[in-house]
């Protein structure tokens, strides 16, 4: 998986932060009135992350990043929602973020609901998007269908965003942005990447 140089730098920084997080040695990001006022004046995020709404999957915390670092959209099942595309449009157009990440997670309730055949309820087409990922996973006949569905759901969202978000597609074509798929492994705190071609963990 080849990223543009600027994206690789940001990704390395996020993965270093993830290591600090899971080893219990995060940087102490403390915010007093002076820091809050300073942060309010400007922002220069370096990454845009589409993650799940799950209460245990906060990108800022699992990557040990201070306020102002990550532009984010969180929606159940980390699907390519309209709000996620709007977020990306701002992130690549206004802030020229070099790295876009779609981050799913093990034990995702949204994916689990569709695995259990629960197609009804709120979410509309986004629910069927997750169902599509479940079918993709079943076609690969995996040992662990739940995990495979989580991973296929990430890869599918990456594909959807590349096709459906014009600003992102233009930034990638211009060599200004790279997109990666990742999974947060809930029980270890580790974030690992997925190869967009093979779908394998890297
Ligand atoms: Zn989830």
| pLDDT tens, residue by residue, 121-135 | 777 778 889 999 999
How many Å lie between the centroid of ligand 1 and the Cα of residue 114? Answer: 12
Q: Is the pLDDT of residue 119 over 70?
A: no
Question: 132 CB contacts (<8 Å, ≥6 apart)?
Answer: 156
| pLDDT tens, residue by residue, 9-36 | 999 999 999 999 999 999 978 899 999 9
Name the pLDDT band for 143 (thresholds 50, 70, 90): very high
How many Å lie between the centroid of ligand 1 and the Cα of residue 184? Answer: 10
By CB neighbour count within 10 A (0-12 exposed, 13-18 middle, 19+ buried), where does 57 fall?
buried
Overall size of the chain counted in residues: 202
Compute the Cα dihedral for 127, 156, 47, 26 and give only its sign: positive
Give residue 97's pLDDT. Answer: 98
The pLDDT mean for the chain works out to 94
Q: How does strand 70-74 pair with strand 47-51?
A: parallel
| pLDDT tens, residue by residue, 57-105 | 999 999 999 999 999 999 999 999 999 999 999 999 999 999 999 999 9
> How far is residue 131's CA from residue 135's CA, in Å, rounded to a whole number?
6
CA atoms within 13 A on the CB side of 82: 3
How many Å lie between the centroid of ligand 1 and the Cα of residue 77? Answer: 5
How many Å lie between the centroid of ligand 1 and the Cα of residue 54? Answer: 5
CATH for 9-24+44-194 (3.40.1050.10, 1.10.8.50, 3.40.605.10, 3.40.50.620): 3.40.1050.10
Give residue 195's pLDDT. Answer: 86
Give the pTM.
0.95
How many Å lie between the centroid of ligand 1 and the Cα of residue 103? Answer: 10
How many Å lie between the centroid of ligand 1 and the Cα of residue 106? Answer: 8
Domain ranges of the chain: 9-24+44-194
Helices (H) then strands (E): counts for the chain: 8, 5
Q: What percent of the chain has pLDDT over 90?
A: 86
């Amino acid at each position: 998986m080849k990223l543009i140089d600027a994206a690789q730098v940001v990704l390395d920084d996020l993965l270093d932060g993830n290591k600090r997080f899971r080893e219990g040695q995060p940087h102490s990001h403390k915010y007093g009135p002076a820091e809050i006022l300073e942060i309010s004046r400007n922002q220069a995020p370096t990454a845009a992350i589409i993650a799940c709404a799950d209460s245990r999957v906060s990108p800022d915390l699992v990557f040990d990043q201070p306020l102002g670092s990550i532009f984010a959209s969180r929606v159940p099942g980390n699907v390519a929602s309209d709000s996620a595309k709007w977020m990306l449009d701002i992130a690549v157009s206004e802030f020229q973020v070099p790295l876009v990440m779609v981050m799913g997670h093990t034990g995702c309730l949204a994916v689990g609901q569709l695995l259990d055949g629960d197609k009804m309820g709120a979410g509309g087409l986004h629910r069927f998007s997750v169902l599509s990922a479940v079918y993709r996973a079943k076609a690969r006949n995996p040992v662990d269908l739940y995990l495979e569905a989580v991973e296929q759901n990430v890869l599918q969202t990456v594909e959807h965003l590349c096709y459906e978000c014009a600003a992102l597609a233009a930034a990638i074509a211009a060599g200004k942005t790279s997109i990666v798929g990742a999974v947060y492994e809930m029980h270890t705190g580790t974030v690992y990447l997925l190869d967009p071609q093979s779908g394998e963990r890297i």
